Amino acid sequence: MIHRRAVTYTLVASVIGLSGFAQAQQTQEIYIPLVSKGFQHQFWQAVKSGAEQAAKDLKVKVTFEGPETEAMVDKQIDMLSAALAKKPQAIGFAALDSQAAIPLLKKAKAAKIPVVAFDSGVDSDIPVTTTTTNNKAAAALAADKMAEMIGKSGEVALVVHDQTSRTGVDRRDGFVNRIKSTYPNIKIVSVQYGGGDQLKSTEITKSILQAYPNLKGIFGANEGSAIGVVNGVKEMKRNGKVVIIGYDSGKQQKNAIIDGSMAGAITQNPVGMGYKTVEMAVKAIKGEKLPKIVDTGFFWYDKTNIADPQIAAVLYD
């Protein structure tokens, strides 16, 4: 009889223990780290704010980090490795180099950690979805605006942040392909890469202007590139003679558009991008089916509509 009671107590204790474990699992906070391309641009701060708002609304924990500059591929890979080592329930990742990250993303898949790509896709089917701007379509719109402003003829150049990330490739190709397919009298004379760094992009712009004195326009493919173009044109005293079109927002770009240094720019929806990344990660954890691409939208803005409420809502300082 004593033996039976002992067994009964053991079974009851086991059941209580299992129940407690299940409750602990249910109450365990969901953790989703986001590893971005960088931290120096206001764009990433806006993405971070959207991610944090989603974390608050969905009651999960997020962290947001990125290397000091968008040229630091190795540092970003180290950050991704460290984030995966914490065994999160899901992870958000904006690749600086879409190939370099694949070995770590394979580890994430093996560990059943869903990967949500954001801003920049990865050349792999490992991410469960990608929250992004349609960068090719947005850059094509920038090309149309450029063509319109230079009378559909003349020489133009591009200063792009990189040729290793999906955003760099798609914005370059979107602009170049639209010009080549639609505007036969416009010649693209130079495509240069400045790593999204303002100072480097300024020097690149100056060298382009020296090489092509009849240049009519320059497209800066992200925040740092566009500001570098503005500064380079100013330093070469070519203000008003070269049409500058940018990409992204931020205080300096907004000021350049207001004072006429920049003709206009494409803005993404970075707050929405950050929010959707966390939202998709939570859905992935729950096992919900996700679309391959979550298009977070883009808008053209210039001096005429910069104060419009719809535009102002997606600009950031």
d(CA 48, CA 31): 15
Domains and CATH numbers, the chain: 30-132+270-297 (3.40.50.2300), 135-267 (3.40.50.2300)
Question: pLDDT band at 41, cuts 50/70/90?
Answer: confident
pLDDT at 9 over 80: no
Rg, Å, the chain Cα set: 24
Q: Please name the residues in contact with 165: beta carbons below 8 A apart, sequence gap of 6 or more.
A: 37, 70, 95, 96, 97, 98, 120
Cβ within 8 Å of residue 103, ≥6 positions away: none
In tens, the pLDDT along 260-315 reads 999 999 999 999 999 999 999 999 999 999 999 999 999 999 999 999 998 998 99
Mean per-residue pLDDT, 58-72: 95
Query: Residue ranges of the alpha helices (H) in 155-267?
Result: 166-182, 198-211, 223-235, 251-258
Across the range 120-141, mean pLDDT stands at 94
**pLDDT for position 37:** 95
Token digits for 100?
A: 């370099």
Q: How many of the other CB atoms lie within 10 Å of CB of 152?
A: 13
pTM recorded for the entire structure:
0.81
d(CA 95, CA 81): 13
Burial zone of 43 (CB within 10 Å; 0-12 exposed, 13-18 middle, 19+ buried): buried
- Between 3-12, 26-35, 122-131, 217-226, the lowest mean confidence (pLDDT) is in 3-12
Higher pLDDT, 3 or 66: 66
* 74-96: pLDDT as tens digits: 999 999 999 999 999 999 999 99
User: Can you tell me the distance from the alpha carbon of 155 to that of 129, in angstroms, rounded to the nearest whole number?
Assistant: 38
pLDDT at 248 over 80: yes
pLDDT for residue 1: 44
